[in-house]
Chains A and B, each alone.
Chain A
Amino acid sequence: QKEVEQDPGPLSVPEGAIVSLNCTYSNSAFQYFMWYRQYSRKGPELLMYTYSSGNKEDGRFTAQVDKSSKYISLFIRDSQPSDSATYLCAMSSYSGNTPLVFGKGTRLSVIA
């Protein structure tokens, strides 16, 4: 079993839909959780960064962390065609410059 599991999709939704992306993990030491967005032939771009459990909202994006279930989510409201990309979850065990463990990424297409 990999440390971080993420459904690769692809996921296709109509414009304006609410999108839910999820990852599960097995390492209970993970405390820092991130979501990256990666457009085709580009590097990953940091979207959301959270510490421990709870919610964080930034515009149309909401990140949730449930450490008791070892489950994290990213919600995208009012999805737009420009949101079409691969979304990668990433996590690490403590602050500082520690290596991130990434999921495989979920490929999302938002259809106009």
Chain B
Amino acid sequence: EAGVVQSPRYKIIEKKQPVAFWCNPISGHNTLYWYLQNLGQGPELLIRYENEEAVDDSQLPKDRFSAERLKGVDSTLKIQPAELGDSAVYLCASSPGTGNEQFFGPGTRLTVL
């Protein structure tokens, strides 16, 4: 069974540029999460989707960050414009809809210059 797929794996952009990350969850997983992981820190939740509905986006900086999960499968996280402090790893995770077993993708490492 394929795991959570994320692309790109690495992205380097200049500040004020836009950037987008893509996530394909494990087949059949209704719940999708985006996490932010800074160096030396644990992941912190940005947004959680139940199917196509964002049910917890309280930690998402909505002035520059946006996300969507059309058709309740793939998801895209966007930053516009990017700032130097956005340099981090962006992790996508999915779960089957019961319990707390979240499965993580490899992450996208963003560097903002």
Residues of chain A touching chain B, judged by Cβ–Cβ distance below 8 Å, are 4, 6, 8, 32, 34, 36, 41-46, 49, 88, 90, 92, 95-100, 102-105
- Is A105 a contact of B100 with CB atoms below 8 Å? no
Chain B residue, CB-CB nearest to A42: B106
* B104 / chain A contacts, CB cutoff of 8 Å: 36, 43-45
Segment 39-72 of B: residues with Cβ below 8 Å from A = 40-45, 48, 50, 56
Given contacts A8-B40, A41-B109, A45-B104, contact A97 B45 (CB under 8 A): no
- Is A97 a contact of B105 with CB atoms below 8 Å? no
- Interface residue from A42, A88, A98, A103 paired with B100 (Cβ < 8 Å): A98
- Is A96 a contact of B98 with CB atoms below 8 Å? yes
Given contacts A43-B4, A88-B42, contact A100 B102 (CB under 8 A): yes
> B73 at interface (Cβ–Cβ under 8 A)?
no
